[in-house]
A and B are shown apart, each in its own frame.
Chain A
Amino acid sequence: MAEDADARRTRTGWGRVLVAVYGVFALAATARSVVQIIDRFEVAPVAFVLSAVAAVFYLVATTAFALGDRSSRRLAAFSCALELVGVLVVGGLSLAVPAWFPEPTVWSHFGQGYLFIPVLLPVLGLWWLRRTRPGVSG
């Protein structure tokens, strides 16, 4: 009962919008990495593998936020944390070693090509999980 209420809370209100934005990024990152890998993997193997990793985390986060039960919330937190590390590391690497990133990916330059949403999204996700954590009203 309480579990159901918590699950509803994670995916209602702004959580609903968060899932929608995550869904868009899951689609964008998946489509982009699939195209890059089938079409021209040899051009930038490092960048394209990282694109695929980003896609997987976006898919996991979208699903976890949409389900919102206790184990999904843990998975969502894990996914957001890794996304944040990923976007910061890849963002930094893309500036430090541009040769590895001849083509833009979702996370290169801290998600500049996507209005920096990739760096904001995991932060918003973690904030939302904290705000809707079980046992806290409001």
Chain B
Amino acid sequence: MDNLANTRTRQHGLTAREAGLIACTTCGRLDRAGLVCARCGATLSSRYPDSIQRTLAWLAAGIVCFIPANLYPMLITRTLGREEKNTIIGGVIELVNYGSYFVAIVVGVASIVIPVAKFVVIGLLVASIRRAWPLDPHARLHLYEITEFIGRWSMIDVFVVAILVALVQLDFVASVNPGLAAVSFALSVIFTMLAAQSLDPRLIWDSIEEGPSDE
């Protein structure tokens, strides 16, 4: 256990749990006991129940869905008997070939960099809480907030596919259909968003005070 980090955070005083109180994360009310918040009706818990386990479960589901999302086509285009299948990476490469570098970067970051970074960051946060790694809690909270904020933006490519499908359905020369990847990618984004929401940020601070937790 890192004593230096310990004494530094100690200077700040008492947490709600140490004071025997439960803080409602929905409305901010404090209570001594109870299952449901008396003000807003949200379920009360000092720390989310099974936070780590739920986070890992959603994360695993997100990673599993990310595999077919990259192997199967996102978009299937048929033009006069010719069939073209585009994967996520294929779509980015096509944009580069068209010379739309900026759009290619936007799509590439949203559909490849952000999801992979999210898997790594959530995994890292969970490991650091479980093993009480003496990492700066401020930096970890920052990573957590960025992850929670940025995860939704991965949905761009799913929307692009939906718009193209709808657009081209109005025309009759070509037919465009979503591939399996469109749905599994959407699920992957939803699952990783749920993983981030299941992680209780208060555990980050607990781990530096109490050492490894087995939760």
Whether A and B are associated in the same complex: the answer reads: no
